[in-house]
Amino acid sequence: MQIAKDTAVWLHYTLRNDAGEVLDESEKDEPLNYIHGQGDIVPGLEKALTGKGAGAKLKVSVEPDEGYGERSDERVQTVDRNAFENETEIVPGMQFQAQGPEGLSIVTVVQVVGDHVTIDANHPLAGQRLHFEIEVVNVRKASDEELEHGHVHGEGGHHHH
């Protein structure tokens, strides 16, 4: 079975930046799983995986426009500290999830001056070229229920039912 739209895919990955530093990787006994063709992984990687089967190993370099996008200064803004009502201490480097016009995003605190907090809503990997090393573990057709939920069920999947 080859990776195509609406297949459930399990893969191991290592993600490095241009400097060769590991930014992210899958757990040894727990490959990442996702449903292909619904934008769960960055477009450049989704394209490269299309047509690959279980056992395939590949190295893929993805430019920012096919990855997490370019950085935008418009996503950096200064807000009042009281916008963070649930946080007792706000320090540079803190990250949290925020609901924005383009969906859920990761926001990073860059600077705190008095009651003013500067936050950066660019994806932490925006503007970076991404180097993936991939091993495809398993591919099968996604069930109707999985397609409806938008995620993989069963072994290694979400257990939220």
Question: Closer CB to Zn ion, residue 57 or residue 141?
Answer: 141
The CB-of-150 to Zn ion minimum distance in angstroms stands at 8
Would you mind telling me the total number of residues written for the chain in this entry?
A: 161
Pairing relationship of beta strands 130-141 and 57-62 according to DSSP bridges: antiparallel
The residues binding Zn ion (CB under 5 A) are 149
Residue with the two structure tokens 């925006």: 126
The CB-of-147 to Zn ion minimum distance in angstroms stands at 10
Question: Closer CB to Zn ion, residue 109 or residue 142?
Answer: 142
CB 108 within 8 A of CB 119: yes
Question: Closer CB to Zn ion, residue 75 or residue 149?
Answer: 149
CA distances from 133 to 26, 64, 71 (A): 11, 17, 24
The CB-of-20 to Zn ion minimum distance in angstroms stands at 37
